[in-house]
Amino acid sequence: MKTLFTIVLILVCICGCAAPLLADQEASGTVSITYVLHSIQTRGSNQIAVWIEDGDGNYVKSLFATSFGADGGFKKRPDTLSEWVRISDWENASSAEVDAVSGATQTAGTKTIVWDLTDRAGMPVTTGTYIYKVEGNISMENCVLWQGKIDVGGNGSTSVAEATYSPSDAAKKGLLLEQVQAVYKP
């Protein structure tokens, strides 16, 4: 039996077939998402949401959202964190989830949000690639969405996100977020 195990182990190493065996393994550790936040003094600005999606773009969990947006401000101003509200189905979020995620409008500076590798229901996620997103309202309908991919599992990884502005000239309205990145630590 020991010989058979040794042969299988050698074949796994040679073929590189170990990854599928680990694909459904429970992830452990944390992902820290860091960004530099600036304050913009104009109406409809400074709203932030941070969330996680799986590698296929399916919603996993919200990590932070400013109180105005998380507590229903998106109903008063539909442009508020519209991507996050849509993907998270936030209109149907429980009051416990709203309480866990919402926080005061952040002051300017470097911010770090930590993901404990659990999903919306508090269950551990599996190893794999995840998408982290940070959305911000620069002013009213002018938004920035930062996104990057981070590998969870193994020895650790880092990632630098890229920004998309909506509408395309929204960057001219002010700098709200920059230097968005994530670090996975097992």
For 94-115, write each residue's pLDDT tens digit. 999 999 999 988 999 999 999 9
In the chain, where the domains are located: 25-185
What CA–CA distances, in Å, run from 160 to 108, 119, 131, 182?
A: 20, 22, 11, 7
pLDDT in tens, 109-161: 999 999 999 999 999 999 999 999 999 999 888 999 999 999 999 899 999 99
DSSP 79-120: TTTHHHHHHHTGGG--HHHHHHHEEPPPPSEEEEEEE-SB-T
Q: What pLDDT, on a 0 to 100 scale, did the predictor assign at position 144?
A: 96
pLDDT at 180 over 60: yes
Q: What is the pLDDT of residues 15-43, one digit of tens each?
A: 333 333 355 799 999 999 999 999 988 87
- Other Cβ atoms less than 10 A from the Cβ of 140: the count is 15
3.50.50.60, 2.60.40.4070, 3.30.70.360, 3.40.1590.10: CATH of 25-185: 2.60.40.4070
Residue 63 has pLDDT above 90, yes or no: yes
Q: Return the pLDDT at 43.
A: 78
Taking only the tens place, the pLDDT of each residue in 74-101 is 999 999 999 999 999 999 999 999 999 9
Q: How far is residue 103's CA from residue 122's CA, in Å, rounded to a whole number?
A: 19
